[in-house]
Structure 1
């Protein structure tokens, strides 16, 4: 390894430190690979970590036995590649943040004859467009409230009609499609909507009055809907007494931490006021670095698309790769990006506000099952605490409607928005699991890996998963859970099932009363429920469509042949005539396309 370090090129790139098993410990970037990597080591009299390094880095280097590197064109490419590889490969000593989703904005195009508010996550073409946001929660609630409280044009298509529609009859629109509504009448409503977006307390006051009216009118369900909406809108912002005495915009990022976790808080200042905020928690491990946390937060938040509103960026702490991130954002924004850590004045007050709220959020209770997760980590010798767990199962009936499901458990609850379902082509259980896990691995760049995989199956499927991960250079804890066999039949007696856990060479059998086994069984059962539910929906669709196709002369074996090849009826509908002809013949291919064209036209 010492000769490899001495021979490193003086070029930009990324480097990877590997342990004795070939697993990636850390991925870093460098303007000059040779200088950067050499800064970690003493090369004489023997290779050793420099004593001036932090304990975290010294520990990492003590485990390092191998080095890989990739040369790129420039520093910007190095930053992008580093971020992409960290997401996909989840190195032990890097920080992995999941919050790289885009947040919605509200916007209004003032060039329209009758402007209306809409949601967007991207820049909309137009010279007179005003954006508001981003919003972590409540954007749709704000939009719905504006259309309920103001008689705006409700939908784009409304103006194409020539007569007032149901919205006009419900007194929710002035119907400019039918009546000559003057701008002097319409535009004040747009101005009112903008004021409510910028001062959500005024909007909430209007909603509370409407909620009270519903309650007094005994319309309790409608009142409850408004109550929940008010709650979501309230959560989207922090209250502040800070007066910037200006109409400036800022994106503020602050990280506070205690012994066990860190809180990352994002605060969005628009036209001198707090527009919204969002936060995430990440665990504090021996490998935590606040410098890397800021870098990952900024890169993840802005992503790879220019945001609708570009604001100066304030961070609560300086961080090592500030210049790298600033250069990357400058290229992304198409204008000079500015990242600073203010030390005084109104901008410092914004930093203090963000830090105060981040520290307050740290005081909120952690998930109640934290102790149980630590116990499972110790029992199964997991590399990391399984805070986020993905569980896989598949389902079919006689080889038809073969599907798979992935469920996600995080922060003490099932994250149903993160669930995924898969149409599978393979016939056997092994092939189905391989197909599903391969597709999940291929999606790691967009949706990073969790802390733990749980498979419904035995040691063979667990080995399959670890082999697949290893072939992609990913180290991820994997366990499998299989049913106890009694007289060659699965024993599933409620309350007494002793399922078997597979995580090492020897299987583990726990008592049915063991809370750790019950927790993993709960995860497996939820994945099974999700797979069965999706299978039933798929089977119903197949049966219904098969009957319709049979009427058009397509036999059941040919339908199965098409499904085996294409996977879904949607794919069959979009297929080309040549492929269909090769599979089932020209006449039936023509009937298939006639059938789907008929459905589309309807």
Structure 2
């Protein structure tokens, strides 16, 4: 048994990170300390002066561990990384902070590309964002492609230069044709640097150069070329006018302020580049009512900039933050030049902060209204479902399952959970089907249900044994909580398959199939020989449709993830003539790269799209 008081005596007087765990060994809080001994002991002294959140956390702590670092800066970086990885429930967390999309310009390549990404890496590429949505990213990328004549094809340059004919964009002057060698590497990279300036809100230099090019074209009597440049100048000026100049400092700044309600907080960030507002983003932090303003701002700055694509030379904050010196050093190290943190008390910067705070309050009010509506609809949906299905109690926990596959490959299943009518994503689970390698939804569904409730049975037995021994070391993975009803994507065959599996565990849980109409839209629920029509009740129909769509989305996302891993980063990329389509066809036919290696040229040539000559080339490549 872990003796907290004895372990407190062993704490070193050094900087580091401490990790608090609950009875199940789950990490519930991660913190940083200048002196571990002093900081960790504070939690277990008098709780009367602590906030309700800290008191609640301490009551759950059953053990802790720590990692000693050489410096406080190292401890800060480690703390940020561990919080991002484990997302402990008692830390202040940015909601869905991994989901925000960025624009990536691959300046680390000879002929850079522009694309959307959700992952920021230290690879030499330029990143811009975060953007409010995938739609905003795509809209911006489409605009860039209209304004700048860059390539939009999938050709790998310089490998594919001169191979094949140019695309339509080249003939309508929307691409310079780097695939034909019509533009040098340096010229193309100069164009991509203009794009980076545009995305960063700096159009002035581009406009000056375009005006010079337009005059030269006009002087040379190239009026058609001059007109095209003129149109591009007008488009850029129109965009520049939309970006309001809100700071006379003409610096790169992030202005961060927040608003609080009785339960939640909203932090708003305005991105100012060269004095112009080029974008903004807000983050809802739920359950932070009793968190101090300083703690809220400190936690946000550390989490947001641990994964931010760009750190400006100045942060303007609404509140003072803890450890401002060490955080400035950390941000400066990420930026490679000095970053200053300012908390204004008067003047233009204070007005900026007040404006951002007002926007945060508007976003928080809209969030509260949306939650209020969603909660009311969820409760009404549960009540209507209880009446329709004649259930004994309100279905407060609903589990829904779906199968997704690509023919006979990547057969996966999803389990999504709705508690009190809302998605509980922490309880979502995904499964890779092991019992069959052919498309068989019934067998796949039976495997998932068996694995899920086998785990539930084990956890319940473990907990019962621990209760008898008066200990609490049994690990809980969330499977021990049983649903009020089960919903499966499919008809009566799926329902019967699930029921026959449930009988093995003696769990009396109602099972219903979610059936769709000919247009692939949710139609009703089926159980036994009876189908419950949902079309006459729009609220109930929307409620069940939301559950079915979420189960489908979660399964499909996992299927896509596996397919991406399967077909990307392959050794086949090194073989001339094998593009994405042929690579996919080869792996689908042989099952793996290992299968392709073992095949002879005749077998390889049987794959659709593979000629005898290419089959021999693939065979020879692996023999070399």
Report the TM-score range of the alignment, normalised by the length of the smaller protein: 0.5 to 0.7
| Alignment counterpart, residue 67 of structure 1, candidates 63, 78, 81 | 63
Could you tell me which of 49, 53, 57 is aligned with 2:50? Answer: 53
> Which residue of 2 is the match for residue 403 of structure 1?
412
> Map of 1:245-260 to 2, 5 A cutoff?
245-260=248-263
Residue in 1 that maps onto 2:592? 573
For residues 64 and 19 of structure 1, the distance between their equivalents in structure 2, rounded to whole angstroms, comes to: 5
Distance 2:105 2:9 in 1: 55
| In structure 2, distance between residues paired with 1:193 and 1:79 | 31
Asked if the contact 2:305–2:311 (Cα under 8 Å) also holds between the matched residues in 1, the reply is no
Aligned counterparts of 2:414 and 2:55: Cα–Cα separation in 1 = 41
| TM-aligned CA distance change 1:369 to 1:574, over 3 Å | same
Measure the CA separation in 1 of the matches of 2:177 and 2:83.
53
Q: Which residue of 1 aligns with 2:353?
A: 351
* Mean Cα deviation higher: 483-492 or 280-289: 483-492
Specify which of 165, 168, 171 is matched with residue 166 of structure 1. Answer: 168
CA deviations on 1:256-307 (whole Å, 9 max, x unpaired) are 22123321222111011111111222322566555454344334333358x4
Distance across 2 between alignment mates of 1:149 and 1:536: 36
Cα distance in structure 2, aligned partners of 1:396 and 1:524: 20
CA distance in 1, matches of 2:419, 2:162: 48
Task: Provide the rounded CA distance (Å) in 2 between the counterparts of 1:310 and 1:143.
Answer: 23
Deviations 1:333-352 (A, max 9, x none): 34444333222333323222
SS in 2 for 1:280: strand
Partner residue, 2:533: none
Q: Which residue of 1 aligns with 2:507?
A: none
- Counterpart residue number, 1:145: 143
1:35: how far off?
Answer: 0.8
CA distance in 1, matches of 2:250, 2:603: 61
Query: How much has 1:357 moved relative to structure 2?
Result: 0.9
Specify which structure has the bigger relative contact order, considering alpha-carbon pairs within 8 angstroms and separated by 6 or more residues.
1
The runs of 5 or more residues in structure 2 that have no matched partner are: 204-234, 384-395, 464-472, 488-494, 501-509, 515-523, 529-535, 562-586, 616-624
- Following the alignment from structure 1 to structure 2, what is the Cα–Cα distance between the partners of residues 296 and 434? 44
Q: How does 1:263-412 map to 2 (within 5 A)?
A: 263-284=266-287, 288=291, 290-303=293-306, 307=309, 310-364=312-366, 365-367=369-371, 368-371=373-376, 393-394=402-403, 402-405=411-414
SS at match of 1:404: strand
Q: What do the CA deviations read for 1:438-488 (whole angstroms, capped 9, x no partner)?
A: xxxxxxxxxxxxxxxxx89975454568989x9878779955443788997
Residue of structure 2 aligned with 1:94, choices 91, 94, 103: 91
For residue 38 of structure 2, the aligned residue among 31, 35, 39 is 35
Q: Is the 8 A contact 1:151 1:189 kept in 2?
A: no
Deviation, 1:354, is 1.5
Q: How many angstroms does 1:237 deviate by? A: 12
Deviation at 1:17, TM superposition (A): 3.8
CA–CA separation in structure 2 for the residues paired with 1:116 and 1:594: 33
Q: Residues 245 and 515 of structure 1: is their aligned pair in 2 closer, same or farther, counting only changes over 3 Å?
A: closer
Residues 164 and 178 in structure 1, CA contact (< 8 A), matched pair in contact too? no
Residue of structure 1 equivalent to 2:220: none
* Inter-CA distance 180–392: structure 2 relative to 1 (3 Å threshold): closer
Counterpart selection for 1:425 from 430, 434, 453: 434
| Structure 1 unmatched runs, 5+ | 43-47, 201-229, 379-386, 437-454, 500-512, 539-567, 581-585
1:29, CA displacement in angstroms?
Answer: 2.1
Say whether the 8 Å CA contact 1:395–1:531 is kept in structure 2: no
Q: What does residue 3 of structure 1 align with?
A: 6
Change (3 A) 1:13 1:434: farther
Sort the Cα spacing of 1:474 and 1:403 in 2 relative to 1 into closer, same or farther, 3 A: closer
